[in-house]
Chains A and B, each alone.
Chain A
């Protein structure tokens, strides 16, 4: 089980959280002008990174707030978490299997 560091509540078990998938997917600023391919990109296409990955989590059984986590999808190591709207922390040099 992952131990996830909530920026508000501290380290808690994974069972307190819900997963929100890839982070930093910006909602289109002018949806009415979007082509079908751009909608597909926003709605469905995902980076699915092998290695260090920025992802969203929701502390559903705690503070009920969304935040971002950098986690390695090969080793499950969590590098750090940060609040929505903040810049991600620097990735470690050792990238392991990072792609």
Chain B
């Protein structure tokens, strides 16, 4: 792997940037791997990278049915934060945020993490109490959090409307200053390049069509590019988790829904933080290109179609304009949808399964992007040691039998 630095840029400038090597290989699948990761999004690539780097596993393949980071990794609104309510969630998301903070150096790839601060607005007395409670819970868990009153919100984000006559007035907000945004494509590409350098085979256009088992243990996968044997399989297939689970005869508590996002035409810098509101259902930030990036809640119905209904977008833009009347003449440029794997308690599943050697990392639902490094790090440990790391032990599939759910609807809610 060519190390990226100012010197390599200078050297390549001399040859007109014609000689940059490919960032990763496109190998033919080998007949057998120690570990196969199904799903070449951020989480799957991060899993492969940490398996190789932290646990010395080198014979790994990542199988992707489309192209790298072409699913939810490239469809989210790139928000990164760790201010979750419960101890279990705070621990895993905070681990993730700490990995984010060193990620560009670690994988020698600029993921453009911008810790510009994330506001979660409160619009009612109930919201205020919940927000203050979450700030206190975050601080007890070592996660940075502040409570701002309405004036404080206005100071932090001057274009916001804090009029008392608004239908849902802004009464305050939680602020996580270490939260922000990152460049989503870079995360997939950076992890892919770093994993490839450690010998991981990244195989695109390779859809898994079956999970081969013998005596309750996995032996490999059937794919559109032939059968591949494997000792262990890690499934990181987001919206298609249930489809893969069915191949192995496993039931998951997951439903797949469209989650839509949109961007405006590019405008001059106008908002330098991330604003989210679970109550009026919208979140907004501004990309480096100047587009306003917005998202809201899922479409209610089950779908695998990567598109949703227009009324959901209409609803979120209504909310957006109440918060930011200044955006009323901005034109929207593009909308799209991704298929999110929602879990009943709005928390993920990183777990062993009843099938030996088969592991699932799914259920991140609407908020998986921020967790990419931590999710990969924990899942790599789970695959390597064949048991969960303490950080992801609470996120087992068996919690739906024991009842030890981790209800993060408040912190996940609409705010991703």
Contacts and interface: CB of A to CB of B under 8 A. Distances in A.
A56 B402 CA distance: 28
A30 to B, nearest CB: 19
Interface in B357-407: 400-403
Q: Tell which of B303, B304, B305 has the most Cβ of chain A within 10 Å.
A: B304
B303 A46 contact: no
Contacts of A1: 309-311
A44 B344 contact: yes
B300 interface: yes
A45 B253 contact: yes
Contact of A73 (B246, B254, B305): B305
A62 interface: no
A44 B342 CA distance: 11
Contact of B252 (A43, A46, A50, A97): A46
Nearest to A35: B401
A73 to B, nearest CB: 5
Given A2-B301, A76-B305, A21 B255 contact: yes
Given A55-B302, A97-B304, A46 B400 contact: no
A36 B311 contact: no
Nearest to A51: B304
A48 B252 contact: yes
Contacts of B256: 48, 50, 73
Contacts of A15: 311
Chain A interface category by residue count: 20 to 34
Given A2-B309, A14-B309, A36-B401, A45 B302 contact: no
B305 A99 contact: no
A19 B300 contact: yes
A75 B370 CA distance: 30
A21 B253 CA distance: 12
Contacts of A53: 302
A47 B303 CA distance: 12
A40 interface: yes
Interface string B281-315: 00000000000000000001111110001110000
B11 interface: no
Nearest to B312: A1
Contacts of A22: 255, 302
Contacts of B302: 21-22, 48-49, 53, 55, 73
A95 interface: no
A83 B307 CA distance: 28
Query: Which are the 3 A-B pairs with shortest beta-carbon distances?
Result: A44-B253, A48-B242, A19-B300
Given A1-B310, A21-B302, 19 more contacts: A2-B301, A14-B309, A15-B311, A19-B301, A21-B255, A40-B253, A43-B400, A44-B253, A45-B253, A46-B251, A46-B253, A46-B255, A47-B251, A48-B242, A55-B301, A73-B256, A73-B302, A74-B303, A74-B304
13 contacts: A36-B402, A40-B400, A44-B253, A45-B251, A46-B252, A46-B253, A48-B252, A48-B254, A48-B256, A50-B240, A50-B242, A74-B304, A75-B305
